Amino acid sequence: MAQQAYVAETDNGGPGPEPRGARLRSLLVRLVGRLSAGWRGDPRIWRRGLVVAAFALLLALVMLVHSRIPNRFGNLGSLTETFLPWLGVFIPVFLVLAFVRRSATALIALLLPAVVWLNLFGGLLGDKTGSGGDLTVATHNVNADNADPSGTARDVAASGADVLALEELTETAVPVYEKALAETYRYHSVQGTVGLWSKYPLTDVAAVDIKLGWVRAMRATVTTPQGAVGFYVAHLPSVRVKLQAGFTAHQRDKSADALGEAIAADPLSRKVLLGDLNGTMNDRSLNAVTSQMRSAQGAAGSGFGFSWPASFPMARIDQIMVTGVEPVTSWTLPQTGSDHLPVAARVKVTTS
């Protein structure tokens, strides 16, 4: 009879099985309760974990003053800024250590790096992608050692890009890319190791001198239905992390300055930069460029949009940057035969 009554009660909307969310909340409440019970009344919670607390404060300090870390010693400042978002990985590690040590001091100290990290990068965690726009652009470092240039060309063309930039082109691979992209793009130009493919006419095409002695940057005017837009394609020199020399980026920095000067002197008000800058938006050494242009990923992307290395992206060094046009959405494309991921963006070009 008791069993029958229970069945009748549940059939009539009575208490049934506990929902999964409620069970999880209940489990967390019990876990926190047990932890707090073990800590309650223990004066050592304030004396334990001082080393963890000190490292947490040091982590917050590095993130707070990253722009003041000097580059005199192995470009340490630029190296820190390149991988700055990854410093947040230490926060959950220190959190676990604080619980293991049962240290209230460490837990309180961890609030500071957590707040600093969220202040720096919390805006990138949300989805800022929109809809609309009238021009799709993409860029891809195709890798000089790419074993399937034809397949890579088809993959990036499938993105629907109206204007496509390719970097790290070799003499032998250029004809392959030209053939594979000819059906999609009526206009194109290759300057040195970079190239620009467009569905709209190209004029004023020229190499851009970025102080290397060979051509790794170019400029062209693209006549879109909304008017002329100046497009730059650049592949700045690579950087290396060496034990004795540190973060060797002197040549990259020199080229970035030259590129920034060329963009600033451009008479067109609407400009787009596509390319592998071998640096992130946080790197102060790219200020000559980043101070005058917006990142499409930062303005209209979702997440960090890391593009390199393709197998496990850790940094956004492939950039789409704009001035005078409005980013609407930005995304990374699937991996190709390159060690970089292609990146794309949709922008709104105001009719002149």
Q: What's the CATH number for 135-348?
A: 3.60.10.10
| pLDDT tens digit at each of 352 positions of the chain | 444 444 444 444 445 555 655 776 676 566 555 555 556 667 788 888 999 999 999 999 999 999 898 877 767 888 888 899 999 999 999 999 998 888 999 999 999 999 999 999 998 888 999 999 999 999 999 999 999 999 999 999 999 999 999 999 999 999 999 999 999 999 999 999 999 999 999 999 999 999 999 999 999 999 999 999 999 999 999 876 554 444 557 889 999 999 999 999 999 999 999 999 999 999 999 999 999 999 999 999 999 999 999 999 999 999 999 999 999 999 999 999 999 999 999 999 976 5
Cα gap 74→255, rounded to integer Å = 18
For residue 194, give every residue at least 6 positions away whose Cβ sits within 8 Å of its Cβ, in sequence order, or none: 165, 166, 167, 169, 215, 216, 217, 218, 233, 234, 235, 275
Domain regions of the chain by residue span: 41-125, 135-348
Beta-bridge partner residues of 295:
321
Cα gap 274→167, rounded to integer Å = 9
Cα gap 70→188, rounded to integer Å = 42
Instruction: Spell out the SS3 assignment of 299-343.
Output: HHCECCCCCECCCCCCECCEEEEEECCEEEEEEECCCCCCCCCCE
The answer to whether the CB of 203 falls within 8 A of the CB of 217 is no
Residue type, 104: A
C-alpha count within 13 angstroms, C-beta hemisphere, residue 4: 1
Cα gap 336→150, rounded to integer Å = 10
The answer to whether the CB of 296 falls within 8 A of the CB of 347 is yes
pTM of the full predicted structure?
0.83
